[in-house]
């Protein structure tokens, strides 16, 4: 009698454990499906998947540099205004899945229409999923936006003579602005990069975040080249006679 009871307990216990283990298994496909549910819920402002798949003690860091807890994160999910529409689709997925932790890293490709005007943006996101009590939820998420060059504007080559010359950051540290036809270049230590106009006095280098501005003094002469990085300026003063 006792032996039968022991076998029965063992048999039932084994079934309960294996069922729990089966329920706890998660795959990349399941993680991708859950993640896409989150992004599909953004446009209508459906908070339910965000409440379901994010842990109560999660940390969420977005591409704007904001760090939010779950309460703030969920409150940030609101319907898009009238005249706005869009979608976010994930791709380029990589995953690492362990017993109680799973990491999903992917691109989030956003398309948005604002009163008929189309916009797009690309982000990279890494989510860390944690299994607790058989339930998988995101415990940490971090996103950054891929840098994109601005649209090339119109150049005014008549202003090029104002820009041409040498600019000094410190003794022995100079860069030179030269013109070739309708194109402007910055040259330093034998390396030459083309400057593309965003506006007549505002330029950028392809693939490099930041802007190059030319500063005019009170006499309307260029006295400095400003290398603006993340809204902070490095000033190169124009060298007289060069």
Mean pLDDT, 10 residues at a time, the chain of 242 residues: 40 42 76 97 96 97 94 95 94 96 97 93 97 96 91 88 93 92 89 90 90 92 92 90 56
Phi/psi region, residue 159 (left: phi>0; alpha: psi -120 to 50; beta: rest), is alpha
CA distance to 51, 98, 146, 186, per residue, from 31 (Å): 16, 13, 23, 47
pLDDT of residue 17: 37
What is residue 91's three-state secondary structure? strand
67: CB partners within 8 A, 6+ apart: 59, 60, 61
Total-model pTM: 0.73
pLDDT of residue 4: 45
pLDDT of residue 149: 86
């Amino acid at each position: 009698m006792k032996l039968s009871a022991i076998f029965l307990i063992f048999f039932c216990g084994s079934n309960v454990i294996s069922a729990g283990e089966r329920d706890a298994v998660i795959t990349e496909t399941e993680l991708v499906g859950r993640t896409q549910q989150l992004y599909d819920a953004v446009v209508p402002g459906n908070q339910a998947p965000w409440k379901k798949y994010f842990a109560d003690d999660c940390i969420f860091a977005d591409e704007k540099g904001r760090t939010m807890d779950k309460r703030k994160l969920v409150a940030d999910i609101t319907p898009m205004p009238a005249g706005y529409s869009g979608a976010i689709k994930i791709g380029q997925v990589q995953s690492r899945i362990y017993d109680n932790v799973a990491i999903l890293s992917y691109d989030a490709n956003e398309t948005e229409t604002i009163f008929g005007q189309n916009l797009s943006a690309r982000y990279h996101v890494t989510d860390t999923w944690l299994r607790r009590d058989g339930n998988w939820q995101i415990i940490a998420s971090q996103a950054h936006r891929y840098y994109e060059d601005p649209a090339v504007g119109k150049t005014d080559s008549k202003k090029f003579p104002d820009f041409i010359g040498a600019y000094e950051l410190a003794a022995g540290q100079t860069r030179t602005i030269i013109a070739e036809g309708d194109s402007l270049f910055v040259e330093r230590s034998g390396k030459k990069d083309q400057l593309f106009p965003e506006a007549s006095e505002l330029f950028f280098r392809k693939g490099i975040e930041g802007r190059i501005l030319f500063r005019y003094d009170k006499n309307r002469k260029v006295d400095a080249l400003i290398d603006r990085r993340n809204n902070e300026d490095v000033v190169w003063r124009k060298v007289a006679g060069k």
